[in-house]
């Protein structure tokens, strides 16, 4: 058990090299205006990284959810301005489960909120989709909008061509596309819709979305910590490197703990889902812990950097802006804490310890 997973390690190493070769200041700056980086996407797609975790027989790259988790953590570490989570872990997962084709190109997934639902009706011998989705990540650059919807009796997965939707562009703090999307009797061909497979549901989509954001947060936090540490080793004030001051050291140590907890919880949650464990507990715990860490960590990172960290010339903002965006997406820490607290309360005091140790 727990022998180093060599395959995953090699995957992560080659993915890290690819990100490092492509993601630089220029690319991130350009993405702020374009909303994403087609150039990075092409490189990732050529390496089959977006569809890691999607079965090869469905057109994916194979591998497990934990493999995909390792790639998402890296995507966060590089602030990769591409819909990596949406394409594989969310849309690819829904499509593959339903037996639908997983197309090439960036995909969007939804609805990303619990209180949203899309409806399907039969009209003149075909399915039509209606409803509204708020702030759907990456909708306007996606090849397909992959959604889960209900016909009143069951949940189905639909792959909608973007031209059949009204998309109103929106942004998150890091200027990633978060678009309002309206489907008004959007027509679907037979090959574009199928019943959701066991395990795929709107509820499960929300869980996976929250898991994906947790992994991205964990990665972005690692980078923010790295930048803060590097800065503390270089910046001189009062004749000393600021990292030599205990006041700074104490903050960096706290930061290190927050990052470790974020990484531990996010990756652990992926493992729990893969092993068929208590996904609600694990994902809720991960999103709460990662969002908490995002709050504490981002502010320590800026405090250590002083004024230079708040400019748009310095790298830190690429990560902290994303941390502040991602912690809200797919439910913030209060949403998930209430959900988790209610769950624990419902099961009762004596079920808490068994739940926490069900692994």
First to last CA, the chain: 14
Cβ atoms within 10 Å of 280's Cβ, excluding its own:
17
- Give the Cα-Cα-Cα angle 139, 140, 143 (nearest 5 degrees): 75
> Judged by CB, which is closer to another protein: 84, or 98?
84
Asked if 33 is part of the footprint of another protein (rule: CB under 8 A), the reply reads: no
Residues 6+ apart with CB under 8 A from 290: 213, 214, 217, 218, 221, 262, 265, 266, 327
- Closest Cα partner for 284 from 230, 348, 330, 222? 330
DSSP tag of 100:
-
CB 285 within 8 A of CB 269: yes
Q: In the stretch 330-349, what mask flags binding to another protein with x, by CB under 8 A?
A: ---xx-xxxxxxxxxx--xx
Tokens of 284: 């809720």
Please select the residue that binds another protein; options are 43, 226, 235, 280, rule is CB under 8 A.
226
Prior bond of 111 cis (ω within 30°): yes
- Residue 131 CB, nearest distance to another protein (Å)? 28
Asked if 264 is part of the footprint of another protein (rule: CB under 8 A), the reply reads: yes
Please select the residue that binds another protein; options are 4, 125, 152, 239, rule is CB under 8 A.
4
> Judged by CB, which is closer to another protein: 74, or 133?
74
Beta bridge partners, 126, equal 123
Please select the residue that binds another protein; options are 7, 189, 253, 310, rule is CB under 8 A.
253
Binding-site size, another protein (CB under 8 A): 83
Asked if 274 is part of the footprint of another protein (rule: CB under 8 A), the reply reads: yes
Q: Which of residues 81-110 bind another protein (CB under 8 A)?
A: none
Q: Which of residues 37-66 bind another protein (CB under 8 A)?
A: 66
Please select the residue that binds another protein; options are 43, 134, 315, 324, rule is CB under 8 A.
315
- Residue 4 CB, nearest distance to another protein (Å)? 7
Please select the residue that binds another protein; options are 101, 189, 310, 352, rule is CB under 8 A.
352
């Amino acid at each position: 058990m727990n022998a180093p997973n060599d395959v995953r390690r090699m995957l992560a190493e080659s993915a890290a090299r690819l990100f490092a070769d492509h993601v630089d200041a220029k690319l991130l700056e350009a993405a702020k205006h374009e909303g994403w980086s087609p150039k990075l996407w092409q490189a990732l797609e050529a390496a089959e990284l977006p569809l890691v975790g999607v079965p090869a027989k469905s057109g994916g790259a194979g591998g497990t959810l934990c493999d995909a988790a390792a790639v998402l953590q890296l995507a966060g570490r590089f602030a990769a301005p591409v819909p990596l989570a949406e394409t594989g872990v969310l849309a690819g997962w829904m499509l593959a489960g339903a037996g639908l084709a997983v197309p090439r190109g960036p995909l969007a997934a939804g609805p990303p909120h619990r209180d949203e639902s899309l409806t399907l009706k039969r009209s003149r011998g075909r399915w039509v989709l209606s409803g509204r989705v708020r702030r759907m990540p990456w909708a306007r650059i996606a090849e397909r909008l992959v959604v889960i919807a209900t016909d009143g009796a069951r949940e189905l997965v639909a792959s909608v061509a973007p031209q059949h939707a009204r998309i109103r562009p929106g942004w998150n703090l890091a200027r990633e596309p978060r678009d309002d999307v309206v489907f008004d009797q959007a027509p679907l061909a037979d090959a574009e819709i199928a019943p959701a497979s066991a395990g795929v549901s709107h509820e499960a989509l929300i869980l996976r979305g929250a898991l994906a954001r947790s992994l991205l947060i964990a990665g972005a936090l690692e980078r923010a910590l790295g930048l803060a540490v590097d800065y503390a080793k270089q910046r001189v004030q009062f004749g000393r490197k600021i990292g030599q001051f205990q006041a700074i050291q104490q903050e960096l140590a706290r930061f290190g703990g927050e990052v470790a907890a974020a990484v531990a919880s996010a990756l652990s949650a992926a493992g729990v889902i893969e092993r068929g464990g208590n996904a609600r507990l694990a994902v809720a715990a991960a999103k709460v812990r990662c969002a908490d860490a995002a709050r504490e960590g981002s502010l320590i990172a800026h405090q250590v950097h002083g004024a230079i960290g708040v400019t748009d010339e310095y790298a830190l903002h690429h990560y902290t802006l994303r941390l502040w965006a991602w912690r809200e997406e797919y439910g913030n820490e209060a949403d998930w804490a209430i959900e988790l607290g209610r769950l624990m309360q419902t099961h009762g005091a004596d079920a808490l310890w068994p739940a926490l140790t069900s692994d």
